[in-house]
Amino acid sequence: MNYQWYPGHMTKAKRMMQENISLIDLVIELVDARIPISSRNPDIDELGKNKSRLILLNKSDLADERANRLWLDHFKAKGYHVIEVNARSGKGLHAIGGAVKEACREKLERDRKRGIRNRPVRAIVVGIPNVGKSTFINSFAGRACTKTGNKPGVTKGKQWIRMNKDLELLDTPGILWPKLESEEVGRNLAFIGSMNDDILQLTELAAELIAFLLKHYRQQLADRYRMETPDDPETPLTVLTHICEDRKCYKKGQEADYEKAAAIVLDDFRSGRIGRITLELPDGSL
């Protein structure tokens, strides 16, 4: 399958990031907890060098709890500050204040030594499309905060959201481009819906997802689609056929409508209805 990300968008996104990153102290990077590697672009390490770093493992409600813990350990071991969150419900966001202080400890210490007091940490939220950046900014900012507008010293046009006396957030998130370095990364992004579905072969994609689920989350798949014999040697095709029967997906003349069944599986997976599923693990065992 051909997974694409347009070069023009990449250049624009990169330029915007370069411009904005120079204004800030802290990069808050969102990754999708179901695919924490495929959903991040490691170029952010170069772009954000010399900045404090905080990774948010977002959509953790959709990912396997055990895998979330492994990913937290993985990123911590690599020296990042990291928290597990659900930007939609707000779960985990209370821990951010403490994590920001921790991540910016050196800067705060430097400021203190130079006699600079009460200068808030300035942060930018970054991540690939659809990872939850806007949702996060809205939930985190809530209603309590105010936009600070074009204060002196703030680049014209940039809006800072004042979270509290210690933290200001740039209101426009930075978009990172996915790094499509392998077929697997493209597929993972397509599974979670971060690719344009219009240019994908959805039946093939759903079949690949089912193959993964049969291998690693068989019981959840069987439960969702009322497959009574989860131990039988099912194949993606038999599962899709079963879904066609179970959900009455037929074209005219009682022909099985595999495309419709494929759309159901992908939609169910993306919205967590098959269960909490992680598609990649730090040790590469998935």
What does the block give as tokens for 103? 């991540």
Give the residue, chosen from 39, 86, 188, 203, that forms a contact with ligand G4P under the rule CB under 6 A: 86
39 makes contact with ligand G4P (CB under 6 A): no
Residues whose CB falls within 8 Å of the CB of residue 87, separated by 6 or more in sequence, listed in order: 30, 56, 58, 59, 93, 132, 135, 136, 139, 140
- Restricting to residues 45-64, which ones interact with ligand G4P according to CB under 6 A? 58-59, 61-62
Q: Which is nearer to ligand G4P, 195 or 244 (CB)?
A: 195
- Considering the rule CB under 6 A, would residue 236 count as an interface residue with ligand G4P? no
Q: Examine residue 87 and tell whether it contacts ligand G4P (CB under 6 A).
A: yes
Contact pick of 132, 174, 186, 236 for ligand G4P (by CB under 6 A): 132
Neighbours of 147 (CB within 10 A): 11
Say how many C-beta atoms besides its own lie within 10 A of residue 22's C-beta.
9
At its nearest, how many Å lie between ligand G4P and the CB of residue 87?
4
Q: Which is nearer to ligand G4P, 54 or 240 (CB)?
A: 54
How far, in Å, are 115, 126, 137, 158 from residue 142 at the CA level? 32, 19, 8, 19
Residues constituting the chain: 286
Q: Are 145 and 163 a contacting pair, CB within 8 Å?
A: yes
- For the CB of residue 228, give the shortest distance to ligand G4P in the complex, in Å: 30
Binding site for ligand G4P (CB under 6 A): 58-59, 61-62, 86-88, 127, 129-135
